[in-house]
Structure 1
């Protein structure tokens, strides 16, 4: 198989995206549990097979603050819109995120579900310098609240320093199947910290 270049997608979080975080469920104006993606992002992120079929379940590793989670999350087309959905994200640290903060996705391009996607967040309250740097350096690259960088670009290199690739020990194996999930009360640090 030919080597696929990595991409980093930076999405400016909209008010309607906040429903994916449990910390925002009561106050969010939208109750959707999804982050909106654009068609150009879906086309570049997903393999042509998944794109033509309207998406699929992807192995997604979410890391933010002390929170880590790996599970299958859907990237799919709903009407004319693409969404990254799944269960709500329970990290308490996500309560500090707000609209105009950023979600970052790092993946191989044309992912067929064979490689995990790494997701993290950059907020004005907790990561103010990184947030300001993204705003300043990518201002001209945002289209419909999304910027996409490919490996080899200066912007990709700069973001890679703050947002490294999926650690090798996390790539090994597959995400837990729904039947294998450990009940929340038995998980260490189950308060989301």
Structure 2
């Protein structure tokens, strides 16, 4: 059985729940719910194990706070003996418009603290990332408030569509591989 580590990035605590910065948590929660899984609190993360189509998904939401995400990522990757190419990290991305999702096999952190810490901890940027565009619709100097803020009412429907698309992307990543999944998802415009 091939094994995958699916990492949703976010911050623990009710004040961060369902904010733009926590979309990685929300996507992973939706994926686990779809497959009738449940999270339990374990070392450095909330963890759920999903079995689907002959594959095992170790799903983690790090409890280390965003800036120390690498610690949980590396611990679970090593513990479960998952090769780095079978990991998928779901993350919010300011540089992408709300209408886009982007899957890549590698690439820089783009200044995202969670990705920066993973990269530093595993000493490479060559690990798959699923970037959830959140746009940059904020006044100058208000980036932190925007990222840690809740979705605007007019964004909620698009966000819901994209969460479903991300669930399909996780499934496709494991069954069709990253190249085919990129061809499917990266061109899609969500409105």
Whether TM exceeds 0.5 here: the answer is no
Q: Which has the higher helix share?
A: 2
TM value normalised by structure 2: 0.31
Q: Which has the higher strand share?
A: 1
TM value normalised by structure 1: 0.31
